[in-house]
Structure 1
Amino acid sequence: MMNTIYEKFITLFMLLMITSCGFHLRGMTEISFKTISLEGKELSFTKNLKKTLASNKVAIILPTENPELRIELLSEESEKRILSLSGQGLVREFEIFYRVRYRIKTIDSETWSQENIIETRRDFTFSDSNLIGKEEEERQLNESMRNEAITNLFNQIQHTNK
């Protein structure tokens, strides 16, 4: 009996500590645009970018509907370089890059901004003996870099009018 009261007290105390320390779930990001048009090329991350914008209550509309911000996606590229070799000349480590080129135009401006580049980079070790696992690791790293590019693009457009 005494043990359960003690456990309840500890649980209540822990809940009180968590709520009093200022912990709260991250809500939606405040963005200064309510309408955006995505123009140009369909990139591998466009679908996830649209989800991110929609989850932040930004409507994606056509350029003819006068959006507050226009984003033109110009290109994306992935690159893979050898970083190091073993003594036998086998690849030990790779470096992979992901780049997105884009430009923006606000409703107030008459011209497009200069071309912007978002670049992400990752290093990973390679092993011929674990080929399937390393291919999956590379796939996950590429996906992570695309998601980071979305976050970076979102952060940059978020500060366009500020």
Structure 2
Amino acid sequence: MMKYRLLLSFSRLLVLSVVLLSISSCGFQLRGSQQFPEHIQLVEVRSLSAHDPQARALAERLPVYQLGYTRAAAPADIANTVIIELRPENLDRRLLSVFRTGQVAEYELIYRVDYRLTFPGQEPVNAVVEVLREYQDDPDQVLAKSRELDLILDEMRAEAADRIIRLMASQASVPAVAVN
């Protein structure tokens, strides 16, 4: 019985080691573990409004990726600053289902952010992020559903910010193309 337990624990350890080695050898990285080049340390976020909620979401998410945030980079920092220019956000709803009475029961929320990403010494890249969520509407609980919609929208902004930063990380690793 003792040999069986020892053999079982050894085989589990062996299987775990093989799985970990295969995952690490294929280049797998956890989300949020993107590495930025050494020269990129600061992100300037520009938006039309000083109190843009998407700009706030980016400001909250950038420290997770060990990046600094600024609303206007100093001239001395411009060589290591990535610029994100946010355009106005857009929230649309698409009807998914209705009650027998004809009232809307469920929506699909579509949150869209257009932005321009500019790396030092490179041409700007225009991009779009779209985040989708399902939202169930209940006409009997208007106040609670209004608060729920605000929370869902905040989550969608945070997810959009993460996607923007991940795209920025993937674009940062692409070498700059020399223009003659």
TM-score (norm 1): 0.72
Amino acid of the structure 1 residue aligned with 2:134: D
Q: Separation in 1 of the partners of 2:31 and 2:116?
A: 28
Offset of residue 28 of structure 1: 6.9
Matched, 1:146 2:151: no
Partner of 2:88: helix, strand, or coil? strand
Task: Summarize deviations over 1:43-71 as a string: whole Å, max 9, x none.
Answer: 21212311322343322351633134221
- Cα gap change, 1:134/1:40 in structure 2, threshold over 3 Å: closer, same or farther? closer
2:104–2:137 CA contact under 8 A, matched in 1? yes
1:131 to 117, 142, 149: 142
Matched, 1:73 2:86: yes
**Structure 2 residue aligned with 1:44:** 53
- Cα gap change, 1:28/1:78 in structure 2, threshold over 3 Å: closer, same or farther? closer
Gap regions ≥5 residues in structure 2:
1-12, 21-29, 174-180
Offset of residue 152 of structure 1: 0.5
Amino acid of the structure 1 residue aligned with 2:95: I
Task: Summarize deviations over 1:115-141 as a string: whole Å, max 9, x none.
Answer: 211011111222222323322222221
2:45–2:69 CA contact under 8 A, matched in 1? yes
Q: Separation in 2 of the partners of 1:88 and 1:53?
A: 46
RMSD of aligned C-alpha atoms? 2.6
Amino acid of the structure 1 residue aligned with 2:143: I
1:37–1:63 CA contact under 8 A, matched in 2? no
- Aligned residue runs from structure 1 range 106-121, under 5 A: 106-109=119-122, 111-113=123-125, 115-121=126-132
Partner of 1:75: helix, strand, or coil? coil
- Cα gap change, 1:99/1:87 in structure 2, threshold over 3 Å: closer, same or farther? same
> Which runs of 4 or more aligned residues in structure 1 lie more than 4 Å from their structure 2 counterparts after TM superposition?
none
The percentage of aligned residue pairs carrying the same residue is: 19
1:31 to 36, 42, 56: 36
- Aligned residue runs from structure 1 range 3-18, under 5 A: none
Q: Separation in 2 of the partners of 1:129 and 1:51?
A: 35
Amino acid of the structure 2 residue aligned with 1:105: T
TM-score (norm 2): 0.66
Gap regions ≥5 residues in structure 1:
1-16
Offset of residue 153 of structure 1: 0.7
Amino acid of the structure 1 residue aligned with 2:102: G
Offset of residue 96 of structure 1: 1.2
